[in-house]
């Protein structure tokens, strides 16, 4: 007898039963749906949140197949795309910008499947359809922003050390600090070095003989800042997509200075595109009460140490150049109301809180202004060519007298409701580290995605059928066992992809087909070893045991080398290549498990318990 250890058989059986449950949601398919989330960041709670949408759509005679709350978002599923778009237009017209509405797809699985948290495989852009965007990052602008930050921090550091300076100005590749007192040169160098120890400081003198310190960035620092800007933009764009309620989006680096954004299931991305490339931040400055703002507006020249702004009503106002706190020092922002007016509740980091505390303590009774800064990069036509132009909008949204001392938590007003919600969302998502501009935009229709799915599945079915027929004819009953193992492999692979939340793309389907081929190869190695042992005169039980043991090294080596290729593709590939690598890597693990443990379990159950076997059907 050649019994396989009971615990291994039970392990394989348990894993396959669990895999069947995890893979089950993929059987039911998907239907068009709307995913609704509140723009102020709040979450929907309970079935009661669904009823207003049901009532609204009943009035518009739009039928909802099912509705449920998932991760704080309301999901409405419809029978067809026409009903989906009609429902979206009805909600948009009645909600007045209250909700972020994403057109997507939802599983048609029963409620009990959703209740236990099971989800189908995510489908990529090439299968589901949607929007494909490519942004180009202004990496040189990232370096300029670094130098502007150094200017601000240098002024703050010199004031803290009570070192008087004539000016702190940006140059082509650095920052030039001019001191009033040459005797404080070393103290100034120490203070500036503490701000950023990685920059290079060079002492010198101006034409008037004043001591100067020039800050420059090395080539390595410039490259590091550019790489950081791209990574920060990827994070910020990902956060913004998530805050808008777009599910299963992909934000990845492409080349040296580009970012590819894939939004599966999105048919109307006008609001998404508008918000993704926008940079919104705040600056807090003290109001200059000594200068004449009207005179500065008429002459176009602001007094030394001040900067001219305009309030929303068009009235000019002079603010001091020293910035108290910027949006970079914000850790949280929430849209709220204060005395019935829209407001944004802000929370600062430690350094920002200390600076705000010091400023409010020293300037009680004086006015402080909040400057709203919005930047976008747009393509405009100049001399017959499209040129990227940075558009910056700066305006004072609030001027208030400092009545009390506060530090890291406070509120600002002066915004419209929609602006407050949008500002809070952008600040929470993080500012873009450098301006971006769309250089490519493609709309992929869902019909094309369905066509890809149908052809991919058809190819898989034809290939699998031919494979199953060959194995059954060539290896007889053992070939049927191999076919069963292949089915187990596909089920287990589907369950793993569903569990991990990996997005299935067209190359991913190719990866599944390759996995099936590799799984067959493993079974063929085992069966040929068993045949060889039988030809050498070994008994059936001895041949089965030796076949699995001697084939293991070849199977292991082949799969490990393929796994290395999959890891390299995942680390250095992008987009579809990564999708292929994920499926390939997971498929290697499922192949090893099913080919070795699965085949041995099934063969052991059928032939292992027999005392003697006259002839193996192989």
Domain architecture of the chain: domains with CATH: 6-25+447-608 (1.20.1640.10), 30-108 (3.30.70.260), 130-277+432-444 (3.30.70.3400), 278-414 (3.30.1360.200)
CA distance 364 to 402: 5
pLDDT given at position 17: 92
| pLDDT < 70 regions, the chain | 1-4, 39-42, 95-97, 172, 242-248, 265-275, 277-280, 328, 375-382, 384-390, 413-433, 435, 443-450, 452-453, 574-575, 608-612, 614
Angle among Cα 302, 308, 313 to the nearest 5 degrees reads 140
For residue 260, the Cα-to-chain-centroid distance in whole angstroms is: 11
The per-residue DSSP string of 484-509 comes to HHHHHHHHHHHHHHHHHTPEE-HHHH
pLDDT given at position 12: 87
Which two three-digit tokens encode residue 419? Answer: 């602006």
Angle among Cα 299, 297, 416 to the nearest 5 degrees reads 165
pLDDT given at position 318: 92
Q: How far is CA 328 from CA 209, 357, 393, 429, in A?
A: 36, 17, 18, 11
pLDDT digits (tens, 9 = 90+) for 586-604: 888 888 888 888 888 888 7
Provide the pairing of β-strand 30-38 with 99-107.
antiparallel
pLDDT given at position 319: 92
Per the DSSP assignment, residues forming a β-bridge with 35 are 75, 102
CA distance 291 to 299: 13
List CB contacts of 395: < 8 A, sequence separation 6 or more: 309, 310, 311, 312, 371, 372
8 Å CB contact between 368 and 402: yes
- Terminal Cα distance for the chain, rounded: 18
Nearest Cα to Cα of residue 504 among 37, 1, 26:
26
CA distance 222 to 227: 9
Q: What letter would DSSP give residue 404? A: S
For residue 282, the Cα-to-chain-centroid distance in whole angstroms is: 24
Q: Helix 576-592 and helix 446-500: axis angle, to 10°? A: 40
The per-residue DSSP string of 422-450 comes to HHHHHHHH---SS-EEEEEEEEE-HHHHH
List CB contacts of 88: < 8 A, sequence separation 6 or more: 34, 101, 103, 268
pLDDT given at position 581: 84
Provide the pairing of β-strand 503-504 with 122-123.
parallel
Which two three-digit tokens encode residue 124? Answer: 């990529």
Full-model pTM: 0.59
CA distance 18 to 219: 54
8 Å CB contact between 411 and 338: yes
The per-residue DSSP string of 261-315 comes to EEEET-S--HHHHHHHT-EEEEEEEEEPSSS-HHHHHHHT-PPTTEEEEEBTTS-
């Amino acid at each position: 007898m050649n019994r396989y250890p009971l615990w291994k058989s039970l392990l394989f059986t348990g894993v396959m039963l669990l895999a069947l449950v995890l893979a089950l949601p993929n059987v039911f398919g998907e239907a068009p749906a709307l995913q609704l989330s509140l723009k102020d960041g709040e979450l929907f709670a309970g079935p009661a949140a669904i009823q207003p949408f049901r009532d609204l759509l009943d009035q518009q005679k739009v039928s909802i197949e099912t509705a449920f709350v998932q991760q704080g978002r309301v999901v409405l599923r419809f029978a067809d795309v026409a009903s989906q778009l009609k429902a979206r237009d009805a909600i948009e017209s009645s909600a007045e910008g209250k909700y972020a509405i994403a057109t997507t797809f939802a599983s048609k699985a029963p409620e009990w499947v959703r209740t236990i948290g099971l989800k189908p495989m995510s489908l990529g852009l090439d299968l589901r359809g949607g929007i494909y965007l490519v942004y180009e990052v202004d990496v040189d602008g990232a370096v300029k922003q670094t130098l502007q930050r150094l200017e601000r921090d240098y002024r703050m550091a010199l004031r803290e050390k009570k070192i008087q300076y004539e000016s702190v100005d940006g140059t082509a590749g650095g920052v030039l600090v001019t001191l009033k007192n040459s005797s404080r040169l070393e103290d100034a160098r120490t203070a500036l070095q503490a701000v950023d120890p990685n920059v290079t400081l060079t002492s010198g003198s101006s034409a008037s003989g004043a001591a100067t310190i020039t800050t420059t960035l090395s080539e390595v620092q410039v490259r590091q800042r550019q790489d950081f800007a791209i990574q920060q933009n990827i994070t910020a764009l990902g956060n913004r997509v998530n805050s808008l309620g777009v599910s299963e989006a992909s934000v990845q680096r492409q080349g040296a200075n580009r970012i590819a954004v894939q939004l599966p299931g999105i048919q109307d991305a006008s609001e998404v595109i508008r918000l993704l490339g926008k940079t919104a931040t705040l600056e807090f400055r003290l109001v200059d009460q000594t200068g004449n703002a009207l005179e500065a507006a008429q002459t176009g020249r602001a007094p030394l140490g001040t900067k001219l702004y305009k309030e929303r009503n068009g009235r000019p106002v002079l603010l001091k150049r020293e910035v108290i706190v910027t949006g970079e020092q914000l850790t949280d922002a929430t849209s709220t109301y204060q005395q019935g007016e829209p407001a944004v509740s802000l929370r600062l980091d430690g350094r920002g809180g200390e600076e705000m505390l010091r400023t409010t303590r020293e300037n009680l009774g004086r006015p402080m202004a909040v400057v709203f800064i919005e930047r976008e990069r747009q393509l405009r036509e100049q001399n017959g060519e499209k040129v990227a132009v940075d558009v910056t909008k700066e305006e004072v949204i609030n001027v208030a007298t400092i009545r009390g001392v506060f530090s890291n938590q406070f509120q600002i007003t002066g915004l419209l409701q929609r602006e407050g919600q949008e500002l809070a969302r952008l600040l929470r998502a993080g500012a873009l580290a450098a301006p971006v501009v769309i250089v490519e935009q493609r709309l992929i229709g869902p019909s094309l995605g369905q066509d890809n799915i149908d052809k991919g599945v058809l190819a898989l079915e034809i290939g699998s059928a031919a494979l199953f027929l060959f194995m059954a004819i060539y290896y007889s009953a053992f070939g049927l066992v191999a076919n069963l193992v292949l089915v187990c492999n596909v089920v287990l692979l589907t369950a793993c992809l569903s569990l991990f939340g990996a997005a299935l793309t067209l190359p991913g389907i190719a990866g599944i087909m390759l996995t099936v081929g590799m799984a067959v190869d493993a079974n063929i190695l085992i069966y040929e070893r068993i045949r060889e042992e039988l030809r050498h005169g070994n008994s059936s039980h001895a041949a089965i045991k030796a076949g699995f043991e001697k084939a293991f090294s070849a199977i292991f080596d082949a799969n490990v080398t393929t796994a290395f290729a999959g890891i390299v593709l995942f680390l250095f590939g992008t987009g579809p290549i990564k999708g292929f690598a994920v499926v390939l890597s997971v498929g290697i693990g499922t192949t090893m498990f099913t080919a070795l443990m699965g085949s041995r379990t099934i063969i052991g159950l059928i032939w292992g318990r027999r005392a003697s076997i006259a002839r193996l059907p192989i």
